[in-house]
Amino acid sequence: MQRYNPSDIEPKWQKIWDETGVYTANLKSNRPKYIAMSMFNYPSGAGIHIGHAMNYTISDVKARFKRQQGYESYHPVGWDAFGLPAENYAIKTGVSPQESMANIIPGYHKQYKAMGWSNDWQKEIATHLPEYYKWTQWIFSEMYRRGLAYQDSRMQWWCSIDKTVLANEQVIDGKCWRHDGPNDPLVEKREVKQWFFKITDYADELLAAIDQLDWSESVKLAQKNWIGKSVGAEIEFRIHNSKDTIKVFTTRADTIFSAALIILAPEHKLTKKITTIDNQQLINKYIEDSEHKSEVERQADKDKSGVFTGAYAINPANGEKIPIWISDFVLAGYGTGAIFGDIHDERDFEFIKKFNIPARVSIIPEDEQEAQKVKNQEYCYSSEGILIDSAEFSGLRSNQAREKIIDWLAKKKVAKEVTNYRMLDWSVSRQRYWGAPIPVINCPKCGSVLVPDKDLPVILPELTDYQPTGDGRSALARAKDWLSIECPQCHGLAERETDTLDTYIDSSWYMYRYFDPQNQNNIFDSEIVKKWEPIDFYNGADHATAHLLYARFIARFFTKIGLINEPEPFKQFLFNGKVTASDGQMFSKSKGNGVDPLEIISSGYGADSLRIYLMFAAPLDLWVKWDSRGVPGAYRFLNRLWNLVSEYLESADGQLNDDDRLAINQIIHPMIKKVTEDIENNRYNTAIATIMGSLNELYRIKKNNLVKCDVWLAALSSIIACVAPFAPHISEELWQLLGNSTTVHRDTWPKWDEQYLVSEEVTIVIQVNGKVRAEIKMPQGANQEDVLTVAQKEDNIKRYLAESSIKKVIYIADKILNIVVG
């Protein structure tokens, strides 16, 4: 037989799989279903890199494993094609994004196939195609019709390079996520009219459902923090000599009696109105400064700054007159944009001390000495404690007083219980070209009017100039023919909306389109989706918060409108690690340290070796440092498997004695069990290690005893089937060489036989006082007395027992005998 040469067999099988459609999922099958997928890819001119190889192999192994187990297993493929890179490329070169995508995507097909991923190409989707974004637009319309999409003017992050609005999560360390280099500018704030999805309506249920998810813990936590629920009270303060009132949000209503001042965010609506003439100049300057101050500067500048407005508020709890200040550490976007400051909060404490604002203490610890220090205001006491100087609430514990004080203020109609979320509504407008146009017509008479469903999709017109207009509108404002349209309501002259939808919308529902990619009349056939939902396995190394949260939101929305049944789209989510360069640095184009999977494949090692290496190097949730010697190591393993099968095929027919038969079975069956459980539990590295170990043991046995017989055939078949999810090409080749006429990739997963999991003879470790002193062989299931009797005959044990007496014996069946002597 020939030597193992991946360059021959890999392309051969890829072609055959393509032609025979082994990986085409029958969505109407009666088999149990399984769908495994990784976050879909953004096609760029660079092609796939080693990180993609990692991500997609993880879900491919899962899909293949289930397919071999007899599931109708679906490993879908699609393209997250809308987004800025293709548009920026278009601006630079004049090549339309539509054309770039048409050029780029076929290259990805080749690369995906070269990696041996078992994608179902018949159901491929791409978000930039009108047949897809028609339904992205439809989702917007449905949201609008149900009151979950609205338009509002907001201060928004603005990237001066891309000339577009950014969502909060697209601002990283004060810079645009696409331009975060040292020379890139900081983001600015601009008032922009935006479309929003009311995700905050779902905040509570999105939060509540997190605990039940079978997801990586770190991601669950990130989601919780992102939603950021906090329960407290909104308390209303009258302004002295004015009819206006200021509402503040607090989670510590129990500290209200020590309120020393009110602090407003500089952007707060009342700031300018209440400022007294004497203070106007300073206040205006402060507001102006903080507008220009970037988020980075605000954060870097931990030192508290602020200006007194000259106005006073009345504490509704005790009638005290307290000053109103402004400071940029108070965030306009959270709560009411105003707080009451008191000595029991670290930040307020700092502020009060810095500006010498009179303050007093209302919570003290139980310890008398400490209480005295707190009363002397030596440090900030922000923990729970006992109330003092708090009228009828004095003496209560702070955690109990909290609710009582809110009730009391509520009766006076100056407070109510409120829940706040860190998460804001989802800004879905983008002033960019390369996205799904928002299906809205702006009519001078009727205002915003939805494009009727029958006119969807609103096709994105091709342009010659893709540069945003710079006035805040996308390049679509230049497409005059496209822009002007008759209003569907009054039939007067109107204009189309020039904003496009955030690409996170495209990716928040794509998993459902996979089940019915060609449907022209509906977003998808609910019956099919209800059969296939939820996604059984999902993985990725990015997007722990935004994408997953938005997908969960859309799934809940779909559930409410009856399209699907499962409010949670992803049953299991694995947040896998990334691959970095050997020095731990991220791969990047600018560093030129990238590793090209296709180069490794074509260098002769093949995709199978690359796949094995990536899955073997470390547990899936750890980051892997690329090691160029890893792939050759994986290749050696596959080569050993190849050579063993070759030798078997060239050997003569024969019989094995009972001992050898048993020995081989006792290698293979535990392996099957371990590999099955490990893949199930996403422990691919130990699954591969187990197969390697078994192969090594078979090598030890084969020396004199390799003959063509049922036991060897079964052993080799099992090992090939177990390798198949990781190394699909070599296993298919060897499978066929062993005489099979059907593929190894369907219905071939071996079962283990319990009788071979235990051996008749076991090794028992003999310890004296917890230290290993001997090993003895005993029949499986021997009792303590027998083991002890045999152990006492061991020379080394005798030495230890000679001078002391046995005080106690601990026996763990078939494992350990510990003799305690004194």
Partner RNA sequence: GGGCGAGUGGCGGAACUGGUAUACGCGACGGACUUAAAAUCCGUUGGCCUAAAAAGCCUUGAGGGUUCGAGUCCCUCCUCGCCCACCA
Which residues, 673 to 702, sit near RNA by CB under 7 A? 683, 685-686, 688-689, 692-693, 696, 699-700
Question: Which of 92, 167, 431 is closest to 176 using CA atoms?
Answer: 167
Question: Which of 570, 534, 454 is closest to 137 using CA atoms?
Answer: 454
* Of the candidate residues 217, 278, 747, 753, the single one contacting RNA (CB under 7 A): 217
Residues with Cβ < 8 Å from 608, sequence gap 6 or more?
A: 6, 10, 116, 634, 638, 726, 727, 728, 729, 730
Choice between 231 and 652, CB closer to RNA = 231
For the chain, state the CA radius of gyration.
Answer: 34
User: Which helix H or strand E contains 403, and what residues bound it?
Assistant: helix 398-411
Question: Which of 274, 227, 237 is closest to 259 using CA atoms?
Answer: 237
* Interaction of residue 788 with RNA, rule CB under 7 A: no
* Interaction of residue 330 with RNA, rule CB under 7 A: yes
- Work out the burial of residue 579: count CB atoms within 10 Å of its CB; fewer than 13 is exposed, 13-18 middle, 19 or more buried: buried
* Interaction of residue 765 with RNA, rule CB under 7 A: yes
* Interaction of residue 759 with RNA, rule CB under 7 A: no
* Of the candidate residues 161, 490, 622, 758, the single one contacting RNA (CB under 7 A): 622
Instruction: Provide the minimum distance between the beta carbon of 227 and RNA in the complex, in angstroms, as a whole number.
Output: 10
* Interaction of residue 633 with RNA, rule CB under 7 A: yes
Instruction: Provide the minimum distance between the beta carbon of 380 and RNA in the complex, in angstroms, as a whole number.
Output: 12
Choice between 24 and 643, CB closer to RNA = 643
Instruction: Provide the minimum distance between the beta carbon of 4 and RNA in the complex, in angstroms, as a whole number.
Output: 9
* Interaction of residue 777 with RNA, rule CB under 7 A: no
Instruction: Provide the minimum distance between the beta carbon of 322 and RNA in the complex, in angstroms, as a whole number.
Output: 15
* Interaction of residue 473 with RNA, rule CB under 7 A: no
- Work out the burial of residue 772: count CB atoms within 10 Å of its CB; fewer than 13 is exposed, 13-18 middle, 19 or more buried: exposed
Q: What is the pattern of x (binds RNA, CB under 7 A) and - over residues 352-381?
A: ------------------------------
Choice between 489 and 580, CB closer to RNA = 580
* Of the candidate residues 80, 87, 328, 499, the single one contacting RNA (CB under 7 A): 328
* Interaction of residue 625 with RNA, rule CB under 7 A: yes
Q: Which residues 415-454 are close enough to bind RNA by CB under 7 A?
A: 420, 422
* Interaction of residue 177 with RNA, rule CB under 7 A: no
Angle, helix 684-705 to helix 658-680, in steps of 10 degrees: 170
* Interaction of residue 228 with RNA, rule CB under 7 A: yes
Between CA 763 and CA 776 the distance in angstroms is 6
Question: Which of 454, 456, 476 is closest to 467 using CA atoms?
Answer: 476
The SS3 of residue 820 is strand
What DSSP character marks residue 518? T
User: Which string of b and e fits 389-403 if b means at least 16 CB within 10 Å?
Assistant: ebeebeebebeebbe
* Interaction of residue 218 with RNA, rule CB under 7 A: yes
Instruction: Provide the minimum distance between the beta carbon of 822 and RNA in the complex, in angstroms, as a whole number.
Output: 10
Instruction: Provide the minimum distance between the beta carbon of 722 and RNA in the complex, in angstroms, as a whole number.
Output: 13
* Of the candidate residues 617, 656, 679, 706, the single one contacting RNA (CB under 7 A): 617
* Of the candidate residues 154, 189, 198, 347, the single one contacting RNA (CB under 7 A): 347
Between CA 610 and CA 111 the distance in angstroms is 13
Residues with Cβ < 8 Å from 227, sequence gap 6 or more?
A: 203, 206, 207, 421, 422, 423, 549
* Interaction of residue 254 with RNA, rule CB under 7 A: no
* Of the candidate residues 24, 44, 151, 230, the single one contacting RNA (CB under 7 A): 230
Stretch of 237-245, 618-626, 659-667, 780-788 lying at the interface with RNA (CB under 7 A): 618-626
Residue 192 · residue 157 · CB < 8 Å: no
Phi first, then psi, for residue 33 (nearest 5°) are -95, 155
Q: What is the pattern of x (binds RNA, CB under 7 A) and - over residues 531-550?
A: -------------xx-----
* Interaction of residue 606 with RNA, rule CB under 7 A: no
* Of the candidate residues 152, 301, 417, 527, the single one contacting RNA (CB under 7 A): 301
Instruction: Provide the minimum distance between the beta carbon of 643 and RNA in the complex, in angstroms, as a whole number.
Output: 6
* Interaction of residue 467 with RNA, rule CB under 7 A: no
* Interaction of residue 266 with RNA, rule CB under 7 A: no
Between CA 339 and CA 326 the distance in angstroms is 10
* Interaction of residue 627 with RNA, rule CB under 7 A: yes
* Of the candidate residues 32, 185, 395, 632, the single one contacting RNA (CB under 7 A): 632
Locate 496 and state its tokens. Answer: 């189309």
Between CA 397 and CA 393 the distance in angstroms is 9
Choice between 528 and 707, CB closer to RNA = 707
Question: Which of 695, 580, 549 is closest to 206 using CA atoms?
Answer: 549
Residue 544 · residue 575 · CB < 8 Å: yes
Q: What sign for the dihedral angle of Cα 54, 58, 63, 69? A: positive
* Interaction of residue 383 with RNA, rule CB under 7 A: no
Stretch of 178-186, 330-338, 470-478, 742-750 lying at the interface with RNA (CB under 7 A): 330-338
Choice between 686 and 736, CB closer to RNA = 686
Cα 586 versus chain centre, distance: 19
Locate 222 and state its tokens. Answer: 């990130």
* Interaction of residue 337 with RNA, rule CB under 7 A: yes
Instruction: Provide the minimum distance between the beta carbon of 14 and RNA in the complex, in angstroms, as a whole number.
Output: 24
Instruction: Provide the minimum distance between the beta carbon of 25 and RNA in the complex, in angstroms, as a whole number.
Output: 31
**Size of interface with RNA, in residues (CB under 7 A):** 79
Longest dimension (CA), the chain: 109
Residue 578 · residue 623 · CB < 8 Å: yes
* Interaction of residue 757 with RNA, rule CB under 7 A: no
* Interaction of residue 189 with RNA, rule CB under 7 A: no
The SS3 of residue 695 is helix
- Cis before 11 (ω within 30): no
* Interaction of residue 808 with RNA, rule CB under 7 A: yes
* Interaction of residue 636 with RNA, rule CB under 7 A: yes
